Amino acid sequence: MKLEGKVAIVTGAASGVGKSIAKLYADEGAKVVICDLNGDAASSAADEITQAGGQAIAVEANVSKEEEIQSLFEQGIKHFGTVDIIVNNAGIMDNFVPVGEITDELWDRVISVNLTSQMRMMRTAVSIFLEKQSGVIVNITSAAGLFGSRAGVAYTASKHGVVGITKNVAFQYAEKGIRCNAIAPGGINTNIGSTMNAPDPFGMERVMSGANNNPRNGDPEEIATVALFLASDDAKYVNGTVITADGGWMAY
Ligand SMILES: NC(=O)c1ccc[n+]([C@@H]2O[C@H](COP(=O)([O-])OP(=O)(O)OC[C@H]3O[C@@H](n4cnc5c(N)ncnc54)[C@H](O)[C@@H]3O)[C@@H](O)[C@H]2O)c1
């Protein structure tokens, strides 16, 4: 058991990558707070964990709202006593909209969910971690956080931003017992396509022009194992890095 007794908050944990991370963390002994916008799906995910003998609670929260993040931490601490690990995983796509077509509304929404939420989650987590001089942060970025045309302009900016804040937090708090790393998945088989309702044809063509270099799509479980490594003491000297998990796509 690599996370025995640890308390982990995983955002966007009712589906896809976040759900797999939550399940694996629970299997490894963590008490997991399943946070998601979709409260019913979050409750189902928590039930799956408890029925398998693990410990989990569901909290319906929109991570783009500060007051809901505060409530998320309050509920997690009320139930499990503290927080040791946060996984900033909740994210949405941007319909591959290029800069010439982006609206302020879409830009603000994608930046808010994918980037500002991670800053806010870390802001609260760090205040708890500093008291203990201990804590772990795992941020989910993307191939789009490292390369220029794996999505539209808003998603690309948000995920590049995640890489920046990960390195910033990692170095600035390195002597305070806090580690902060990111995972950059390639194409993963999840429900994230449901956040793409009307892809921009030009943006889609530009994004897809490199897609045939992707050796294969991955499964959420193949990201969860990386997230377990980063949260565990196996990674105690790993700080401020971005681990790509993409079957080799970014090596091209
Ligand atoms: N699937 C991929 O190919 C891929 C590739 C690279 C990175 N990622 C990243 O992985 C992360 C997880 O995505 P996924 O593919 O598992 O998608 P998913 O759609 O299957 O799961 C995302 C979950 O986040 C929740 N969510 C969305 N907005 C939220 C909000 N404001 N507050 C709380 N919860 C919210 C959704 O309800 C959903 O349950 C995202 O950050 C995504 O950008 C995914």
Domain ranges of the chain: 7-245
Catalytic residue numbers? 155
The secondary element (H helix, E strand) that includes residue 130 is: helix 117-132
Residue type, 41: A
pLDDT, averaged across the chain = 98
pLDDT of residue 164 exceeding 90, the answer is: yes
Using the predicted structure, report yes or no on whether residue 210 has a pLDDT greater than 90.
Answer: no
Q: Is the CB of 183 under 6 A from ligand 1?
A: no
Burial class (CB in 10 A: 0-12, 13-18, 19+), 82: middle
What is the spatial distance between Cα 39 and Cα 14, in angstroms, rounded to a whole number?
8
Q: Which of 88, 193, 103, 116 is nearest to 151 (CA)?
A: 193
For 212-215, which contacts have Cβ atoms below 8 Å and span 24 or more sequence positions? 213/249, 213/252, 214/186, 214/187, 214/246, 214/247, 214/249, 215/247, 215/248, 215/249
- CA torsion 203-220-63-61 (nearest 10°) is 130
Question: Where does the pLDDT of residue 195 fall: very low under 50, low under 70, confident under 90, or very high at 90 and above?
Answer: confident
Q: What is the dihedral of CA 240, 62, 185, 14, to 10 degrees?
A: 120
Query: In the prediction, which pLDDT does 211 show?
Result: 87
Does this model's pTM top 0.85? My answer is yes
CA of residue 131 to ligand 1 center, whole Å? 30
Ligand 1 contact, 232 CB (< 6 A) = no
Provide the b/e sequence for 175-204 (b: ≥16 CB within 10 Å): eeebbbbbbbbbbbebebeeebeebbeebb
Beta sheet of 178-185, edge-to-edge order: 55-60, 31-36, 7-11, 85-88, 135-140, 178-185, 242-245
CATH 3.40.50.720 for domain 7-245, yes or no, is: yes
The DSSP 8-state label assigned to residue 211 in this structure reads G
Name the residue with the closest Cα to ligand 1, atom 43. 91
Rounded mean pLDDT, 119-128: 98
With 90 as the cut, is the pLDDT of residue 125 above it? yes
Q: Ligand 1: which residue has its CA nearest to atom 40? A: 91
pLDDT of residue 5: 95
Determine what percent of the chain is predicted with pLDDT higher than 90.
96
Amino acid at 14: A
Two tokens at 193?
């396509």
DSSP string, 67-124: HHHHHHHHHHHHHHS---EEEE------TT--TTT--HHHHHHHHIIIIIHHHHHHHH
Rounded to whole angstroms, the Cα distance separating 242 from 143 reads 10
pLDDT tens sequence across 175-194: 999 999 999 999 999 999 89
Mutate to test the pocket of ligand 1, among 35, 116, 188, 192 (most ligand atoms within 8 A of CB): 192
- Average pLDDT for 216-220: 97
- Cα of 22 to ligand 1 centre, how many Å? 13
Which are the contacts of 214, defined by CB distance < 8 A and separation ≥ 6?
186, 187, 246, 247, 249
Please say whether the beta carbons of 165 and 122 come within 8 A: yes
63 CB within 6 A, ligand 1: yes
